[in-house]
Amino acid sequence: MGLFDKFKRKKIVDVPEEDENVRSADSSESTENAAPSESSDNGGRASLLERLQGGTPIFTDHEADIEYMEEYEAQQKEESLYRLREGLKKTKDGFVNKVELLINSFTKIDEDFFDELEETLILSDIGAETSADICDKLRAEVKRTGTTEPADVKQMLKDIISEILTGGNEMKLETKPSVIMVIGVNGAGKTTTIGKMAARFKAGGNKVIVAAADTFRAAAIDQLNVWTERAGVEIVKHGEGSDPAAVVFDAISAAKARGADIVLCDTAGRLHNKKNLMEELKKIARIISRELPEASVETLLVLDATTGQNAVNQARLFNETADITGIVLTKLDGTAKGGIIIPIKNELGLPVKLVGVGEKIEDLQEFIPEDYVNALFD
83: nearest Cα among 378, 375, 308:
375
Domain ranges of the chain: 3-86, 89-165, 178-377
List, in sequence order, every residue forming a beta bridge with 301; answer none if it has no partner: 183, 327
Q: 354 near 364, Cβ under 8 Å?
A: yes
List, in sequence order, every residue forming a beta bridge with 262; answer none if it has no partner: 178, 208
Topology agreement, domain 89-165 and domain 178-377? no
The packing angle between helices 309-321 and 274-291, to 10°, is 60
Question: How many angstroms separate the CA atoms of 145 and 262, rounded?
Answer: 48
Which residues neighbour 360 within 8 Å (Cβ) at sequence distance 6 or greater? none
CATH architecture of 178-377: 3-Layer(aba) Sandwich (3.40)
- CATH superfamily entry for domain 89-165: SRP54, nucleotide-binding domain (1.20.120.140)
Question: How many angstroms separate the CA atoms of 249 and 290, rounded?
Answer: 10
Tens of pLDDT, residue by residue, the chain (378 residues): 567 665 443 333 333 344 444 333 343 333 333 333 333 344 444 444 444 445 544 444 455 566 666 776 777 778 888 888 888 899 998 898 999 999 999 999 999 999 999 999 999 989 999 999 999 999 999 999 999 888 899 999 999 999 999 999 999 999 999 999 999 988 899 999 999 999 989 988 999 999 999 998 878 899 999 999 998 999 999 998 899 999 999 999 999 999 999 999 999 887 655 677 788 888 999 999 999 999 999 999 999 999 999 999 999 988 887 889 999 999 999 898 999 999 999 999 999 999 999 888 888 999 999 999 999 998
Which residues neighbour 144 within 8 Å (Cβ) at sequence distance 6 or greater? none
- For residue 338, CA distances in Å to 190, 217, 316, 319, 357 come to 18, 29, 17, 20, 10
Helix (H, G, I), strand (E, B) or coil at 178: strand
Residue 176 backbone dihedrals phi, psi, to 5 degrees: -125, 110
Q: 198 near 208, Cβ under 8 Å?
A: yes
Cα 326 to the center of its chain, rounded Å: 10
Question: How many angstroms separate the CA atoms of 58 and 76, rounded?
Answer: 17
* Amino acid sitting at position 294: E
* Amino acid sitting at position 373: V
258: how many CB neighbours lie within 10 A of its CB?
Answer: 11
Question: How many angstroms separate the CA atoms of 354 and 201, rounded?
Answer: 13
The residue length of the chain stands at 378
Helix (H, G, I), strand (E, B) or coil at 143: helix
CA angle centred on 177, ends 176 and 182, rounded to 5°:
140
- For residue 161, CA distances in Å to 155, 259, 308 come to 10, 41, 18
Give pLDDT, residue 25.
37
Question: How many angstroms separate the CA atoms of 173 and 215, rounded?
Answer: 26
Supply the Cα-derived Rg of the chain in whole angstroms: 25
Give pLDDT, residue 58.
44
Element (H, E) at 234: strand 234-236
